[in-house]
Amino acid sequence: MKKGWRRYTPAVRPAMLILASACLWSAIGTALFIKGCYRCRLYPDQALFLLPLGVATGTLKSHMLLDNSARSGLERLRRLSGLTCLGAVYSWKTWIMVLCMMALGGILQNSAIPPQFLTLFTLAVGWALLYSSRLAWGAWWEG
């Protein structure tokens, strides 16, 4: 029987961590992208410009930054064996980065930055996360 706090740890196999990673990237990306699309409707005269630019910028961000992060995270998960805490879906460094990005998002939302730029930013980040989630979904599918 496990001792101490470990008995309360939600332990899963590495394949479930990969699935959790895919779900998290997809869910957060979808939520941000939908938020960006919703904000686009506030600027109907600029929406036809903001949406494609957000997708293009997000695709570029995905290929240049997030894909590398996703690949290294997936490699870390593949090296795990046995049951591991569900929180290990990301490294401590990545969890800290996520918290910093959330804080930055809150700061930006309450800043004096033009709302059209924030809409573009939200679209790009949402699409980049959603697009890069394809790597985790592929890794999970391959098993």
In a domain, 35, yes or no: yes
Q: Report the chain's C-alpha Rg in angstroms.
A: 17
In a domain, 3, yes or no: no
Q: Measuring CA to CA, which residue among 36, 9, 41 is closest to residue 123?
A: 36
Counting the structural domains of the chain, the total is 1
- At 71-106, the pLDDT tens digits run 999 999 999 988 888 889 998 888 998 899 999 989
- At 22-56, the pLDDT tens digits run 999 999 999 999 999 999 888 888 888 999 999 99
pLDDT of residue 65: 93
In a domain, 62, yes or no: yes
In the chain the beta strands, taken as DSSP E runs, fall at 11-12, 84-85
Residue entry with tokens 């805490």: 85
Domain containing residue 30: 12-78+85-142
Rounded CA separation 142/19 (Å):
11
pLDDT-derived band at 1 (thresholds 50, 70, 90) equals very low
In a domain, 136, yes or no: yes
- Mean of the per-residue pLDDT values of the chain: 91
pLDDT of residue 100: 94
pTM of the predicted structure, to 2 decimals: 0.88
